[in-house]
Amino acid sequence: MMSDRQIKRAHHKVYRNGFDSEKVRLIAGHVGYLKKIRSKSKRNHSADVVPLNVSTPVNSNEMAKPRLPDSIVVTNYKDEQVPYIEPLGWVLVYLFKRYPELKHTQGFSDSHIKGDESVLRKGFYETHAYSKIDVGSDSHSQNITIDIVHGRFDANSARWSVEIFANGGLVRKYICETQDQVVAKIDQQLHKYRLIQLAWDQAQRAR
């Protein structure tokens, strides 16, 4: 014969089973919905670095404006550079979010992204969308700067590059296939040359 405690527990179990089975169905349905949505929106890029493809309007006299936050300033660019400028802008959004002290460095005093076209040599050309990270510290033994460049060398070939300069001279050039590789390489070089610490010190002095 069951005790009063056992009887209460048995009744409670019967009551809970009906409620829990309904709750489990709801949770299972929600999990299935989330999995379906995530599989649809699955990307090869990290969440903060969002590639944006923009087609310039046909027969339009208006200049295409890069879809970027107001905090990213873009100067001296052409319509055909917009598809290169936007991914670079989102790389900078990610870097500023992660290292806000970089906003106070000399490399971002005029504009965050610049457009420039230069002839490399006969038969080759490159359209640049680039940004410079320059802490401009006189106390550092070498003035290290990092250029983020997107170059179009011919109609079918376009690459990102991260270029390291010391006192104006090129030290290393890293070719990257994706924005994630650009972010990873910049992050590595910022720590290698202690630029984050220098930028932080400079930001503190500016306040």
Mean pLDDT of the chain: 75
Domain shared by 9 and 78, yes or no = no
33 found inside a domain:
yes
Domain shared by 14 and 92, yes or no = no
Cα–Cα distance, 182 to 178 (Å, whole number): 7
Domain shared by 35 and 101, yes or no = no
66 found inside a domain:
no
143 found inside a domain:
yes
Q: How confident is residue 20, by pLDDT bands cut at 50, 70 and 90?
A: low
- Radius of gyration, alpha carbons of the chain: 26
> DSSP secondary structure string, 26-58?
HHHHHHHHHHHHHHHT--SS-TT------PPPT
Domain shared by 135 and 184, yes or no = yes
57 found inside a domain:
no
Domain shared by 175 and 106, yes or no = yes
49 found inside a domain:
no
62 found inside a domain:
no
pTM for the whole structure: 0.65
Domain shared by 92 and 6, yes or no = no
Residue 50 pLDDT: 46
Q: What is the pLDDT of residues 78-90, one digit of tens each?
A: 888 888 899 999 9
Domain shared by 19 and 93, yes or no = no
47 found inside a domain:
no
Q: What is the pLDDT of residues 161-202, one digit of tens each?
A: 899 998 888 899 999 988 899 999 999 999 999 999 888 888
Domain shared by 84 and 132, yes or no = yes
The answer to whether 89 touches 72, Cβ cutoff 8 Å, is yes
Which residue range is the domain that position 25 belongs to?
1-42
Residue 204 pLDDT: 84
Cα–Cα distance, 53 to 132 (Å, whole number): 23
Helix (H) or strand (E) holding 202: helix 195-206
- CB environment 152-190: b (16+ within 10 A), e (fewer): beeeeeeebbbbbbeeeeeeeebebeebbebbebbeebb
Domain shared by 35 and 132, yes or no = no
- 59 vs 189 pLDDT, higher one: 189
Domain shared by 184 and 106, yes or no = yes
Domain shared by 120 and 161, yes or no = yes
Residue 98 pLDDT: 92
60 found inside a domain:
no
Domain count, the chain: 2
Domain shared by 35 and 82, yes or no = no
